[in-house]
Amino acid sequence: MEGAKILVVDDESRMRKLVKDFLVRQKYEVLEAGDGEEAVELFFRHKDVALILLDVMMPKMDGWDVVRTIREHSAVPIIMLTAKGDEQDELRGFDLGVDEYISKPFSPRILVARVDAVLRRSGQAKENVLECEGIVINKSAHQVTIDEKTIDLSYKEFELLTYFVENRGLALSREKILNNVWNYDYFGDARTIDTHVKKLRSKMGEKGNYIRTIWGMGYKFEPAETGKDE
């Protein structure tokens, strides 16, 4: 979204410049940080950061600690940049609340496309409220309440719950969930969904049972008194 403020965090100045140049061409405003501590300081000083592009391996405070610190206070979208191709690192990132995960080297144009897609999905659209069996989702405020109690969800957990509620009663394959919640250009696997569903169910308490497992296929959001897995 034109004019949105993006925080680029990487200890390599050439990488920051490359990413910044492409983002500025798309009319984004860019803040730069060369280490994790500076990133946290900048994020909390500037109250309007719309998205963070975050490297994993950095001095002073690594990317994982930055995510943990920010997620205690904010659901701002975070895209992790890493030179590692380890699947466990990717799963770890999503478990901490990372929204996208891009391995270096990458195409700057693809990176900008990912940024555009995440911002479009990040609630910067017109206000919209969904309600279902005591679950209230305010898409504009990026807030969820269950029986009038606010629950703290990561950005991706919020998107996943919203997708489930919007498609209540429908059997959703893991591939379809990946395409709609993680976007068509995500290259992860189904375990990413299972990890997020597990955490989402836990945060929803008894109403987590509304997310029913369809073995061998995916999930169905089906409010009922007995939300047992099929």
pLDDT in tens, 17-67: 999 999 999 889 999 999 999 999 999 998 789 999 999 888 889 888 999
Q: Which helix (H) or strand (E) holds 66?
A: helix 63-71
Domain assignment present for 59: yes
β-pair partners for 33 = 9
Name the pLDDT band for 228 (thresholds 50, 70, 90): very low
C-alpha span between 125 and 115 (Å, rounded): 16
Q: What are the respective helix, strand and coil percentages of the chain, to the nearest 5?
A: 40, 25, 35
Q: Which of 111, 108, 47 is nearest to 79 (CA)?
A: 111
Tracing tokens 């959703």 back to the chain, one arrives at 172
Tell me, yes or no, whether 14 and 102 share the same domain.
Answer: yes
Beta strands in the chain (DSSP E): 5-9, 29-33, 49-55, 78-82, 100-103, 129-132, 135-138, 143-146, 149-151, 171-173, 211-214, 218-221
Strand 149-151's sheet: what is its strand order? Answer: 129-132, 135-138, 143-146, 149-151
pLDDT tens for 176-224 read 898 888 765 555 567 788 999 999 999 999 999 999 999 988 999 998 6
Instruction: Say how many domains are in the chain.
Output: 2
Same domain, 96 and 163: no
Whether residue 204 lies inside any domain: the answer is yes
Where among 120, 148, 168 does a domain terminate?
120
Question: Do 149 and 100 have their domain in common?
Answer: no
Query: What CATH number is associated with residue 64?
Result: 3.40.50.2300
- Cα dist from 140 to 76, 127, 137, 144, whole Å: 13, 4, 9, 11
**Does 106 share its domain with 18?**
yes
Q: Kindly tell me the sign of the dihedral angle through the C-alpha atoms of 223, 224, 229, 230.
A: negative
Does residue 193 come out as left (phi exceeding 0), alpha (psi in the -120 to 50 range) or beta?
alpha
Of 81, 101, 120, the residue at which a domain comes to its end is 120
pTM, full prediction:
0.55
Q: Where are the alpha helices (DSSP H) in 105-166?
A: 108-120, 155-166
Domain span holding position 181: 129-221
pLDDT score of 124 more than 90: no
In a domain, 60, yes or no: yes
Average pLDDT for the chain: 84
Determine the distance from the C-alpha atom of residue 6 to the mean position of all C-alpha atoms in its chain, rounded to a whole number: 15
Whole-Å CA distances, 113 to 19, 102, 117: 12, 12, 6
Domain-terminating residue out of 57, 92, 120: 120
Same domain, 13 and 109: yes
Is residue 46 a part of any domain in this protein?
A: yes
Looking at the fold, whether 82 and 160 belong to one and the same domain comes out as: no
Which residue, 152, 156, 142, 155, is CA-closest to 202?
Answer: 152
